[in-house]
Structure formats: C-alpha cells, structure tokens
Structure 1
Amino acid sequence: MHRIPTVLLCAALLALSAVQALPAAEEESQIEAAVVSIDVTAQRGDWYSPWQRAGILQFTGSGFLVGPGQVMTNAHVVSDAKQILVRRNGNSRPYFARVEFIAHDSDLALLRVSDPSFDAGVAPLRLGDLPSLLTRVRTYGFPAGGEKISRTEGVVSRIQFVTYVHSSADAHLAVQTDSAINPGNSGGPVIQDGLVVGVAFQVSAELNDVGYFIPTTVVQRFLDDIRDGSYDGYAEMAIRSSNLNNEAYRAFLRLPAERGGVVVDAVLPASSADGLVLPGDVILAIGVHTVGNDGNILYHGHTLPFEQIAEEKQVGDVLRLTLWRDGGELRREIPLRGLPDAERVRSRFDVLPDYIVYAGLVFMELDRAYMETFGNFWEQAPDDLLYEQFFRRDEHPQDPPRRAVVLSRILPHAVNRNYRDSANSLVSRINGVPISGLTSIPAALARPQGGEQIFELGDVGNLLILNAAQADAAHAEILRQYGVAQDRRLP
C-alpha cells in the first residue's frame, strides 16, 4: 500500500508551469493562442433530497487545444455542466462547448466546439514525455477567471501516486511542482520545451506552494481509451500487497535471497486477478519490470510503484505477472477489467441519485455521494454507515460486493410518526425479503405481512412497522405535501 498525501482541489483551478529554456517569442505566442478560459454553469443532483436538484453554480477554469475543435481540461471544471463557454486568449468572443468525453476517475475531460471559427489558424498543442526531476516547467491558465493569460514557473520536485481529489477514491501518477497555484487555472497546460507535459489540477493540503499536474502518461491513456468512441475507465488488478523486507517472512515463503517482490495480501472477488493470483503469492515482475521489495520498479528512469504498468493498460488488455508460489516461479496472464462496484466509492457527478419514496420513507443506495451529505469528513455519520461504506470491504475482502440500502430520511406524516430516529439506518429486510439494491424494494413492498409493512433495520434487525393500507393511502398525499414529483428513480 502507498501512503497518499492529502490534497485539495483548487475549485476551478490551478496554474503550474512550463519550459526548460524559455520558448522563442513565436513559440510562446503559439502556445498562448491554444490556451482557453472556460466559464461553466452547473447544477448537481441532491443526495439529501434526491427528487430535486441542488443550486446552480458558476465557476471558471482553463483548457487547451489538442485537436480541431477539441479542448482538454479537467473533469472537475465541467462536471454537471448545463452550459460551457470557452474563450481563446486574446479573443473575447465566447464559444459554446459541450463535453464529448469525461473521465471522473482521472479528472480529465475533452470538450468539443462545433463552430469552425473557434480555432481557425491555431495549432493544437502536442504532448511530450514525463519530465525529469529538478527540471523547470511553466503553467498557463486564467486564474480567478481573469481575462489575461497567466504564466507561472516552477521546478518538478516529485513524481508519485496521489489521490485525485475529484473522485476522492482514485490514485494515479501525478507530478509535484512548486509553481504558484491560483483558483481558475485547473485544466491549463503545463509546458516544457514547447510540449505539454501535464494538465494542472490540484494542490497540496499539507504543504505550502505545492501543486500537482496530471502527467501525459495519464492524459495519453485517456486519449487512447476514447479512440473507439467511448470511455471505459481504468482496468484494475484489485490486488492488495505488502512490502517484503522481513527475513523470516521471506524464509517462510522460501523466496531466494536474490529475489525481490511484494507479497499479495488479498485479491478482491470478481476482480481481474480473482482466481489467477492468490493471497501469499509474491509478485516478482510485472511485464518486463522487476519488482523490488519496496514494491517499486524502474520506469523510464523513474522509481515508481509497480501498479504504474497496470495503470497504462486498457480494459480488455492482458497483464503479464511473474509470481512466486509454493517455492517456485510461475507466470500468469491477467485479462484486465474494471471493478463492478467502483462508482460506489467515488464522488458522483453527471448523474442524478437513485431513490424510492414510500409513505414518506426515503430509500437510497449507500455510496460515497450519500456519505458526503454528512460533511467533508463524515463527522456526523452513524458508525454503521461508516463501517459499511469504508471498512467492511477491507476487513472482508473475499465477500462479494453488496449494494447496501439506507433509509435516508423520513418525511414526517401521521402514518410514519415516531420513526424519525430511524433515519440513516441500513435496511436489511422488508417483509422478510433480503434487500440488496433499490431494485429489490418494489417486489418486497408488494408482499405485506398480515397487513403490515415490516422493515428490518441494521444488523440487529430493529423493526419499523407501517400499516400497509394506511401507508398506501397516505403515499400520494405525502408526495404532494413535499413536492416529490416522482416516487422513484431506479438504476
């Protein structure tokens, strides 16, 4: 496991930096002409009152041309967008844009501007390679929504895996720089020797004057993914591993002294490696890269976690592992696929929450977006919800994924009086029917027991009982009373 430093999103943000030796005036002019400001009007779903939308938001970001009519920016700049306007540097005319592809797991988006005059005579920027440590970079963008382009310079100080704050759950390679960071620069290009080496996207919450940009290894993977017209997302090995420096453990595994690697602690069920890699296996190599006892490989002159090789793969690709098992070496080919429940652990964007309302009882599936209704650090969240969302999978990695359902709110009415304290409870059964996901609820409600709707809450089965006939009769009245236009939105 890799310790991930805490990072904060720069709201619509960032400015990092670019270039070994300053570009010639003509090259500088070409770069600036390809950088755009982005004005966004957005409206998210409301995970507290899921039948309605949250308030309208307006914010700014930056982007740059990567192809005819195509603008690269951050996903967090254009998430939940209702209107997107882009302006080229030096041109005050706004152009309408739309999201063509978006990757919330890697905080990247590709916009399309259909008006051919938008980029007439402007050359798209070209992608470069991963920059070397201690080299200078320059970031371009429009901080705080200003009309004038900004350039800031800094030094590449670290290349490592960090949590991408937009999704709050995905860790990818990022490049750290000491370039000045200002809100509004998110999505701007980071340039070195006239080439894009990254996309500015977030800042550190722990260190002053430290920002991160998304390297072109991640950007190119995104562009490769969308070549077929859709974004499939990251393939996941879903292997939990530990460093292998303890001599007693190495002797127990009968691992020769000259061999390095990491030991597999767990493999998530239904993941790419399930059944092919076992707990207790030692990963000696990934592809052609030898894995050290610290879990690192040598990658294009950089020491990086071995997961970087899997990071570059697409869904459907094959990953080759060299393993040590039962005192001998073997090889495995892993057909890569995504995790089926990955969205449950991410912040949610560009979707509306699913729900069911019955007689004032509001049911939702437990996911990160729901937990975020308790605040940034979930300090007000019940312990059983925290455990279910964040810890159960870690403690029981071999259990199949489950779609936990929460009684999220109770809209007060005479038919459900005295049950308000039952809100934010996990729902285990309805009328004796085990509940797994919202789609299992309608059939369960259709089977009242002895004229009663019986809801079992939590692991201990606390009961909430409604008279079925009275609940059915009150249902439409409650919907009207609270302005709920539809009593459900199902996945």
Structure 2
Amino acid sequence: MASTIYSVVKIFSINRTADPSHPWTAPTSNPCSGSGFVISGRRIITNAHVVTGATFIQATKLSSGTKYKATVLAFGHECDLAILLINNNEFWKDLEPLNLRGEMPNLLEPVRIVGYPQGGDSISITGGILSRINTYVYSHSRGELELPVLQVDAAINSGNSGGPVFIENEVIGVAFERLPSGDNIGYVIPAQIVKIFLASIDKGDETGFCSLGISLQSMENAMMRKYFKMKKIMTGVLVTKTNQHSQGNEYVEKNDVILEIDGMTVEDDGKVFYESRLWMHLNGFIALKNPNERISLKVLRNGEVIHMKMEAMPVDTWYTSDYSSPSYYILAGLVFTESTESMTGVKICEVLEDNINKGYSSFRDLEVHCVNGRPVNTLDQLCELIVASTEEYVRIELEGDLVVMVNLKSHKKSRGQLLESHRVMYDMSDDIEEAYPCLGEE
C-alpha cells in the first residue's frame, strides 16, 4: 500500500454547469476537486462527474505540490468514468501504473479507499469491507442502463470521487458515490467496468455497455406465475418492454419469461449466481459481457420453452457533456426543453405562473406526448407544429393524459409582461430563434 498511494492524484477543475430548470440563465462556473489514479499509457482514471463541463483541469501528485494542466481524452458518462492526459514529463516521473483486478472480489474482503476527500489537503486512506454487490443506474448517467456496483462500509466523502479502492495492492474499483441517508454506505465502480470502458476507448469506439434493451419484472407473485404458465419448478423474470432498436428486440418478445442465461438459472427476482459465488442481477451480468460475445437464453413463451442464441451488443450511449444552456421555448409561461433523462423527449421544465397558465402550475417535469394530435420527440418538432398551427388554440397532450390548451393570440399579447415579471430576457434560446423566427413575431 505504501508504494501504490504515490500513483493516486488530486484533481482540480473549474466546471461550468447549466440549470436545466432555468435554461434561459447563463451557465455558472464552480470549482470542483476529486481524486484519480495512474493507469498504463500515461493516463489517469477519474469520475466523469468530476470533470464534466470543465473549462480548466489540473492535477497534483503526492510527491509534489505543483499543479499540472490536464485534458480529457474520453468520457464514459453511463459508467461515470473519464480518462485524463497530462503532457508533462516531469509529472510522470516516478509514477507507476496501478493494476486493475481481473475478477469480482468476494464479500467481506477488506478494502482500502485512497483519495483526497474534503477536510484536509493531504492524502486520505479509509478502510472497511466489501459488504454487497448490486446493480443500479449510476446517478451521473441520466440513462436507464443498470451496471454492477460494489458497496463498501469504508468512508467515501466529497473529493474521494475518482479515487482507487484497493484489496491489497490491486485496484478493485473506483469510488464514486455514497448514500447520504446512511452511515458509511459507499459505492464503487468495479474494475471490470473500468476495463470494458478502457477496451472500448482503445478500439476507438464509444458504443457503451452490452444490454438486451428490455425491461423486466419479478415473478414472485403466484397469480402472475400461473397466468404466464410457469411450472412450479420454474423461476425467471417477465419481459415487460423491449427497445425496438436493441439486439434483444430481434429475439425476445414482450411477455416472455426468461428462465436461464448461459446455463444459469434466473431467479424470480432477476438474479443469477455469478461465477458460482455471488448473486448478481441479470442486467449487471449482461453488462459485463464483451461486444459480440455469445449469449444463450431459455425463455418461456405462451407456455412453450424456447432456446435461443444471440450476440451481446452494446447499447448506444447518450449524454451531452456540453456545459452550455439547453435549448428551450416558452409558450404561455410553460418552459419547454428536451429531456435530459432519455435520448428523445420534450418536457415542461418550469412554469412561469401567470393568469394565462392558471391551473397548469403542477405540470412541471411532465413529458409532452403530442401537439395538435401529432407525436413529439424533439423540441424542433414541437416548435414546427406550433408554427404550422392554423387553429386559434394549440392542444398539447402530456403524460398522465393531461391536456394544455393555449390561445396563440393571448400568448402573444401577454408574452412581454409575463417575461418582464419573471425577469426572463428571452422566450427562446438562440438556436430556436434562428430556426423559427416567426415564433417571436407579435
């Protein structure tokens, strides 16, 4: 441990962040610090959330107080990882790359977390055990892909993000989150996820992690099991939704019950016995697959058992690391912008309350489904349909079967006063104004 800590560095960054609920405001600059560590190829691993939107990045090492300028080579937003480069030979002097462990660790193994958390300037080492292995959507990803995560009881605090987690002298993962409401519940990105990310970058692609692109539901309810014709000896999970753009959509159908994967039984809660020593959710198991690796499935379809084989395929990544304010359009005080939680979608991110939108104040964060009966997936589509409207009213259908009716003449008449009362200078972003100048006409 004594020699490995010299390969752990402190990251300083100035990050510009936009307020998604107030897209008309300028991005603000905020200082941020985190941790990182040296890997092969004169590269540094850290968390993506430490350097997302960064306009300036620096790093220091334990043996020197000098700050060295760093740049981002690559982001892996869905796995909250980033690779930094430092073009300075002096920085790399006497720094040795750390080794990433090849397999999942065992529960109860002792761990050490090394980094630069808040509370001091010097390096910090905390200890604990590996208490759980789970899968969930990383908070930074803003997506839907579930990835494996290690849970430890060693302290992880602000500033630890991006630092290595050791078992003996091997890195088993990267510290990245903690549970604010719990005591010493910290989360670690497994080294296997780091390796998949690095392999993807080394190949020159950014295709992401493998997934069947399906939504699953447990089959623990006796009536559910009987309805879907499961025998008593069967266990599995129900497919409730398939992504039409995913590999799984070509093989798996809605209402299929997945019984086995690669010869392993899928339990009613979706877990498989990974490497014959620990329980892992099906989604996490697939995420550890390499692209084009073969997957065998056993499914129950309409009471018939079907065997199928397919290749593991990565899902497309989506995330904007741009720190500029998002595109927006304000109609009758309803602020429309594109959703940050999915690849497509428009939502009402804010309601600037006024008489014209009375009764709509609770519609914040609701997704838009249709405008004048036409489906809407992008802000451009919404604006096009409003421009093309020849009726007195625009009908906007939202999630939950809610409806908004806007009189266009009333909107134009009240627009100036509404913006002034809420101290909003412009009712649309520059790109929307350039594409649809008639939206700003009286």
What band does the TM-score fall into relative to the shorter chain?
0.7 to 0.9
Q: Counterpart of 2:241 in structure 1: which amino acid?
A: V
Once residues 149 and 143 of structure 1 are traced to their aligned partners in structure 2, the CA distance between those partners, rounded to angstroms, is 8
Once residues 138 and 51 of structure 1 are traced to their aligned partners in structure 2, the CA distance between those partners, rounded to angstroms, is 44
Once residues 35 and 349 of structure 2 are traced to their aligned partners in structure 1, the CA distance between those partners, rounded to angstroms, is 40
Q: Partner residue of 2:430?
A: 486
Matched, 1:443 2:416: no
SS at match of 2:286: helix
Give the direction of change, closer, same or farther, for the CA distance of 1:333–1:51 in structure 2 (3 Å limit). farther
Q: Counterpart of 2:271 in structure 1: which amino acid?
A: N
Instruction: Decide whether the 8 Å contact of 2:135 with 2:148 is kept in 1.
Output: yes
Q: Partner residue of 1:373?
A: none
SS at match of 1:33: helix
Once residues 173 and 6 of structure 2 are traced to their aligned partners in structure 1, the CA distance between those partners, rounded to angstroms, is 18
What do residues 343-400 of structure 1 show as CA deviations (whole Å, max 9, x unaligned)?
A: 5xx8x7545454343677665345356xxxxxxxxxxxxxxxxxxx9xxxxxxxxxxx
Equivalent positions of 1:341-380 (< 5 A) are 349-350=321-322, 352=324, 354-357=326-329, 363-365=335-337, 367-368=339-340
Q: Partner residue of 1:290?
A: 265
Find the partner of 2:94 among 108, 121, 135: 121
Once residues 357 and 159 of structure 1 are traced to their aligned partners in structure 2, the CA distance between those partners, rounded to angstroms, is 43
Once residues 186 and 198 of structure 1 are traced to their aligned partners in structure 2, the CA distance between those partners, rounded to angstroms, is 11
What do residues 124-146 of structure 1 show as CA deviations (whole Å, max 9, x unaligned)?
A: 00111322222211111112174
Equivalences, count: 422
Alpha-carbon shift at residue 438 of structure 1 (Å): 1.2
Find the partner of 1:177 among 127, 152, 160: 152
Once residues 82 and 311 of structure 1 are traced to their aligned partners in structure 2, the CA distance between those partners, rounded to angstroms, is 32
Give the direction of change, closer, same or farther, for the CA distance of 1:360–1:454 in structure 2 (3 Å limit). closer
Q: Counterpart of 1:209 in structure 2: which amino acid?
A: N
- Considering Cα pairs closer than 8 Å and 6+ residues apart, tell me whether 1 or 2 has the greater RCO: 1
Once residues 474 and 430 of structure 1 are traced to their aligned partners in structure 2, the CA distance between those partners, rounded to angstroms, is 24
Find the partner of 2:309 among 295, 310, 333: 333
Give the direction of change, closer, same or farther, for the CA distance of 1:149–1:275 in structure 2 (3 Å limit). same
SS at match of 2:202: helix
Once residues 127 and 437 of structure 1 are traced to their aligned partners in structure 2, the CA distance between those partners, rounded to angstroms, is 41
What do residues 381-423 of structure 1 show as CA deviations (whole Å, max 9, x unaligned)?
A: xxxxxxxx9xxxxxxxxxxx973443845598xxxx7447656
Find the partner of 1:66 among 23, 36, 39: 39
Find the partner of 2:407 among 453, 465, 470: 465
Give the direction of change, closer, same or farther, for the CA distance of 1:422–1:120 in structure 2 (3 Å limit). same
Give the direction of change, closer, same or farther, for the CA distance of 1:453–1:339 in structure 2 (3 Å limit). farther
Instruction: Decide whether the 8 Å contact of 1:232 with 1:315 is kept in 2.
Output: no
Alpha-carbon shift at residue 249 of structure 1 (Å): 5.9
Alpha-carbon shift at residue 488 of structure 1 (Å): 2.1
Alpha-carbon shift at residue 73 of structure 1 (Å): 0.9
Matched, 1:156 2:130: yes
Matched, 1:211 2:157: no
Q: Counterpart of 2:284 in structure 1: which amino acid?
A: Q
What do residues 105-137 of structure 1 show as CA deviations (whole Å, max 9, x unaligned)?
A: 211111111223221232100111322222211
What do residues 206-260 of structure 1 show as CA deviations (whole Å, max 9, x unaligned)?
A: 43122221111211121122222232223332333344456676566565555x4
Where does structure 2 lack aligned partners over 5 or more consecutive residues?
A: 436-442
Matched, 1:109 2:82: yes
Alpha-carbon shift at residue 295 of structure 1 (Å): 3.0
Once residues 469 and 360 of structure 1 are traced to their aligned partners in structure 2, the CA distance between those partners, rounded to angstroms, is 5
TM-score (norm 2): 0.81
Give the direction of change, closer, same or farther, for the CA distance of 1:324–1:69 in structure 2 (3 Å limit). same
TM-score (norm 1): 0.73
Q: Partner residue of 2:51?
A: 78
Instruction: Decide whether the 8 Å contact of 2:27 with 2:324 is kept in 1.
Output: no
Alpha-carbon shift at residue 193 of structure 1 (Å): 2.5
Q: Counterpart of 2:339 in structure 1: which amino acid?
A: D
Alpha-carbon shift at residue 71 of structure 1 (Å): 0.5
Alpha-carbon shift at residue 461 of structure 1 (Å): 4.2
Q: Counterpart of 1:486 in structure 2: which amino acid?
A: D
Give the direction of change, closer, same or farther, for the CA distance of 1:454–1:236 in structure 2 (3 Å limit). same
